[in-house]
Structures are given as structure tokens and as C-alpha cells.
Amino acid sequence: MAESLSKPVQELIVTGGELPEKYIYKKGENAATDVSYPPIEVPVIDLSLLASQSTAGEEELGKLRSALGSCGCIQAINHGMTASFLDQVHEIGKQFFALPIDEKQKYSRTVGDIEGFHAADSLLSEHQTLDWTDRLFITIYPEDKINLRFWPENPENFREILNEYTRNLSLMKELLLKSMAKSLNIEEDCFLKQYGEGAMMVAGFNFYPPCPRPDLTLGVKPHTDAATITFLLQDKEVEGLQILQDGQWFRVPIVPQAILINVGDQTEIMSNGMFKSPMHRVVTNSERGRLTLAVFCHPDAKMEIGPVEELIDKKRPRLYKTMKDYVAIYLENDQLNKRPIDAVKI
């Protein structure tokens, strides 16, 4: 079936609580029928300590290693951004989705594009269940890959705030990738070396409108991220993210002013499985809209990525192949409903 773009969820008119069929998870699938999932305690990491040479710094590296090797995510604090700045980042997303549809559609994705405003899924197969979310997807780094045609001019400060946020995340990305390597006792540039000149950061603003039947839908279906790492600015007031651990779903509580950072498939590959790319999903709720901003970091698609040699030995044989453009492999397998990382396992 050829790709066809679906209607923004915000524009669906739901009468009498009847959802369009293609948003409904059939019984026995993964519908979120219970909102009282247990919380998962995501380790809180103080980024200002990671850079220090002190004992506290060493301890923080140990915490980082154990967190990324188990649940695959951390809540990062002391990242250098103020609470009011993070509120502004959140606000530009909220204001964009509150615009009339005609205004948002000026930035619409067209068939074949990756960037732009769109309903989260475009229908690729007749059997696919659609996510209850609308998205604005834009490349934010490096400058020469930015396509301003997809960058809203409304709200007025959108571009300025997003650029400032990008500058902060670029620094955090470097600190984290170095700290991750240091925590494994390997040379600190090991992961960064696989990045190359054309490394990219892509921002996905997700808006989840209230849904009259949270028991039948998902905001985002279960997936792992293709990225090396993902920075997630959660909604300050509305929960929704869940992580799968040992076959059970846990909700991720909101930690005010923290940035949730999770490992993506490309870090699981480069670390030869030492760090885990967590399976996660988003549930919907009937009362309040939810706005999040996920920023995905990707190495240059032309670079070869693969397990770092120092992390391969007799006890820990190589788990993944070496490849170029993992994102393309990811998309291809995801569309076939296959778990992408399995395609590059040895």
C-alpha cells in the first residue's frame, strides 16, 4: 500500500465516544486498560558532577553506568537550564499546536518527507493501528541541514528559543557521550568518534490531545528509539510515558526541571549491549492534552557505526554488526512491524 497521510488527531470529531477504527487496539493487544501502573524510579544524575574530577564525580559515573545498563534512562538535573527557560521551550510547542489548523498546515509534511507537521503515523499498511498524537518534526542541528520552511514563525519567539535549547543540548550531548565512555573505562572519545561531520539532532514536538477512550488507544505504540541518545522534555503536569522492564509496564513519574535522557538503539549497538535501549510507549488520558519535546541525536549517516572494539572480548562477544545509516534500517523494519535492532544482531 502506498503511503497516505492521515488527518491530525486534533481535527478528529469524535461523536458519542466512538473512535475511528484505525486508532483502536483490538482486545488482547497492548491497549492501556489500566492507568494505575507502578512508577519506575529513574536514577537522577547530577550533570554538573559528571565533569568534575572528584570522588563525587566518580560516584556519579558509576550511577550513570548502572542506570543506562538497567532501565536505560536517567533524569538529568543541574543541566544548566533554568526552570523558566524550560517553561518557555514547552510553551512554544503548546502555542504552536493551539494555532488554527490552516496556520499549522503551512508547515505540513508531504508524502516522502520526514520533517514537518503531521499526524504521527502515515498509513503504510492497512493493518496498522494509528498513534493518538500530532507531531512537528524538524532538524535542529547542524545549521546547514536546517530547513526553515518547517520552522514555525508563530509563536514569534519559536526559532530563538529552540536555537537556544539546541545549543544547550549540544553541550549536554558531548558531556554525556564522554561520560558514558568514561563510565565503561574506555577512552572518552570512543562513542563521539563514530559521529562524524554530518551528525544531526532532530526535534519532535508531540501533542497528545485528550482522548475519550484511553482504554482503547495509545499515544505512541511500543518502540525503542533509533537515536544514540534522546533528550525528552516531559510535560510538567501530565504524565503518559511508560517503560517496559522485565515484561511489565511502569509509568515514568515527572521530575520537575529534569530532562529525561534515554539510550537509543545506536548506543546499545556502539556499547555492544552494555547500555540498553528501553522499550517505551505513551498512554492517553481523557482529560488533559499533553505536550512533550523529544530531541534525537544521530551520527552522520555516512559513518560506520558498530560495537567499540574495547567492549568486545571472549566473555562478551560482539553482539551487533557494523553498519552505515542505521536510521534507514530502523525505518524499514519498523514499517514491517519488526524490532529494528534485531536486524543488525549477529
Ligand X SMILES: O=C(O)CCC(=O)C(=O)O
Which of Fe ion, ligand X, none lies near 204, with the C-beta cut-off 5 to 8 A by kind?
Answer: ligand X
Between residues 183 and 217, which has the closer beta carbon with respect to ligand X? 217
119 binds ligand X (CB under 6 A): no
**The binder of ligand X chosen from 121, 134, 225, 265 (CB under 6 A):** 225
Q: Which of 192, 294, 297, 308 binds ligand X (CB under 6 A)?
A: 294
Decide: 117 and 135 in contact? Cβ < 8 Å. yes
Closest CA to 231 of 46, 335, 79, 35: 79
Q: What is the pattern of x (binds Fe ion, CB under 5 A) and - over residues 183-222?
A: ----------------------------------------
* Shortest Å distance, C-beta 215 to ligand X: 19
Q: Measured between alpha carbons, how far is 71 from 81 in angstroms, rounded to an integer?
A: 25
Q: Which is nearer to ligand X, 204 or 209 (CB)?
A: 204
The C-alpha atoms of residue 35 and residue 223 are separated, in whole angstroms, by 19
Q: Are 165 and 90 in contact (CB under 8 A)?
A: no
* Spatial distance between the Cα atoms of 33 and 72, rounded to a whole number of angstroms: 25
Q: How far is the CB of 79 from ligand X (least distance, A)?
A: 18
Q: How far is the CB of 294 from ligand X (least distance, A)?
A: 4
Binding Fe ion by CB under 5 A: which of 60, 131, 225, 235?
225
Contact with ligand X (CB under 6 A) among 86, 119, 292, 295: 292
Q: Which is nearer to Fe ion, 225 or 265 (CB)?
A: 225
Helix axes 55-69, 158-183, angle to 10 degrees: 100
Nearer to ligand X, 169 or 184 (CB): 169
Verify binding: residue 220, ligand X, rule CB under 6 A: yes
Cell (9 digits) for 238: 501530565
Which CB sits closer to Fe ion, 97 or 231? Answer: 231
Distance between CA 203 and CA 141 in Å, rounded?
Answer: 9
Distance in angstroms (rounded) separating the CA atoms of residues 323 and 332: 14
Q: Which three cell numbers stand for residue 252?
A: 515514568
CB of 82 within 8 A of CB of 90?
Answer: no
Length of the chain equals 346
Applying CB under 6 A, the site for ligand X has a residue count of: 11
Q: Does residue 268 bind Fe ion (CB under 5 A)?
A: no
Residue 199, interface with ligand X (CB under 6 A)? Answer: no
Q: Rounded to the nearest 5°, which phi and psi values hold at 77?
A: -120, 170
Residue ranges in contact with ligand X by CB under 6 A: 204, 206, 220, 225, 232, 240-241, 280, 282, 292, 294
